[in-house]
């Protein structure tokens, strides 16, 4: 039977089971998940939080992680400033990055989500407003959401991956995991 684990990766945790190149002081998945034979299906950078799926099934891992399968990934991004309609439309139409044009994304402004506090909290700047957007992408370039929001003038302050395909983070606290049904 295929095991599929949904993990709420806290900020600062590496998306791997062993240390980094120089025995990085950052915690790894091994400190949270003691399940043999599962590996991350894709990555979530150290500065991002949220849903990371792990499985031992290579085909499922590929279907989740490889861009050719176009599995939607939903992110909640706290951004600097308040994106206007033009910025949201740019995100929807695709954004030109150094490595080319992104696929069109679903993008919308949202109210601040009812999620956990980040540790450490984002920097607070009295004279710079922040807001939240929801972004759904179907590719997974390195730090793509951060680069997209910066390209439209609204750098990401906090990034939470909320959903991958049909799997969601709903009800899962940071640092916790649960087994979910694979399909």
Phi and psi angles of residue 150, each rounded to the nearest 5 degrees, phi first = -65, -40
Residues facing 106 on adjacent strands: 136
Active site residue 45: yes
CA–CA separation, 20 and 173 (whole Å) = 25
52 SS3 class? strand
Closest CA to 48 of 110, 167, 135: 135
Q: Which of 22, 23, 45, 84 is catalytic?
A: 45
CA–CA separation, 40 and 29 (whole Å) = 9
Tokens 């950052």 -> residue: 26
Among all residues, which ones are annotated catalytic? 45
């Amino acid at each position: 039977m295929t095991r599929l684990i949904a993990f709420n990766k806290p900020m600062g945790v590496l998306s791997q089971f062993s240390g980094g190149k120089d025995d990085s002081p950052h915690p790894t998945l091994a400190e949270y998940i003691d399940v043999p034979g599962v590996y991350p299906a894709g990555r979530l950078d150290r500065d991002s939080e949220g849903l990371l799926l792990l499985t031992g099934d290579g085909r499922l891992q590929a279907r989740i992680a490889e861009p050719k399968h176009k599995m939607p990934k939903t992110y909640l991004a706290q951004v600097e400033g308040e994106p206007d309609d033009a910025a949201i439309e740019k995100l929807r139409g695709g954004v030109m990055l150094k490595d080319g044009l992104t696929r069109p994304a679903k993008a919308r402004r949202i109210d601040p989500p009812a999620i956990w506090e980040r540790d450490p909290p984002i920097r607070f700047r009295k004279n710079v407003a922040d807001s939240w957007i929801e972004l759904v992408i179907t590719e997974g370039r390195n730090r793509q959401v951060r680069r997209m929001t910066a390209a439209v003038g609204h750098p990401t302050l906090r990034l939470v991956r909320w959903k991958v395909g049909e799997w969601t983070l709903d009800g899962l606290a940071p640092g916790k995991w649960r087994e979910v049904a694979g399909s």
